[in-house]
Amino acid sequence: MENLPRRVPQVLATALTFIVAVMAWGSGEPEKQVLCPGTPWATDLYVIRGQNPGPSVMVIGGIHGTETAGWMVAEQLIQLTVVNGTLVVIPRANKPAIARNARYIKHDLNHSFPGRADGTGEQRLAYEIMQAIGRYDCSLVLGLHQGRGVHGRDAKRSGQTMITGIPRATDDFPWRVVEKTNTYIRNARDQFSVYIYPVAGSSSEESVGKYGNRAYALEASDAYPLRTRARYLRLLVDTCVADAGLRLVGNPAGTAGRRPHPAGPQRRRAP
């Protein structure tokens, strides 16, 4: 062993990682990787591959450390089985901010994309997330957030929204999934809305610009208790991934087993 080249351990480690990834393919078991390894910003990324081909979808929780519902829902997803396609989940993107219950540490992660390989912690983290989006060829990226108020009651608020920077004539995906999600939410005052509000440097805007995919911010209202926030957010996530063609099973906290309200969703009254 003393005479082995120094690169041999590195080669063996790479080979072992490859073997583990191959064994995890289609097994339903999450393949875990680490972004920003060996730094205070290290965070886990999980890849769950289905046995059948399909789309690749990324879900990011914990972009802001104070938005608990986002990482709660993301952690639920890694317990599911993927039937077709690939689910990539980063449950707690900004771990230092979550630990401090702070929105961010030095730079707002959701304004730091596409990031810098040699930047601050949040800038480097944004860079590695962007690289992962490309590496797994994600056709849909969902950032999970919390927003203030309810947009359907006050257009200046971002709670209960699916945020996009693209008009409906170009991409009707948000309107389609919001309409479907709202069939599970009886009270019109609690329903989701589409909010056209491009955010420079966000994961969604930069992902669309670099990869030409679909990417959105999903915002549950902080006006609700945490469990309610998480439930609404999970409903919207489930509808998004299903509409994109990714099939998940083992879904007790989401829309599986639920039925749209028999009377249909209430219509909002004009203000």
Instruction: Please tell me what DSSP assigns to residue 113.
Output: T
Q: What pLDDT, in 10s, does the model give residues 122-172?
A: 999 999 999 999 999 999 999 999 999 999 999 999 999 999 999 999 999
Question: So what's the pLDDT on residue 251?
Answer: 61
* pLDDT at residue 29, as a whole number: 81
d(CA 68, CA 66): 6
Give the torsion sign (CA, 26, 32, 35, 37): negative
Distance CA(19)–CA(30), nearest Å, equals 14
For residue 112, the model assigns a pLDDT of 97
**pLDDT value, residue 4:** 42
Task: Note the CATH number of domain 36-249.
Answer: 3.40.630.10
**Alpha helices (runs of H) in the chain, residue ranges in sequence order:** 7-24, 68-77, 95-100, 121-135, 173-182, 203-211, 226-244
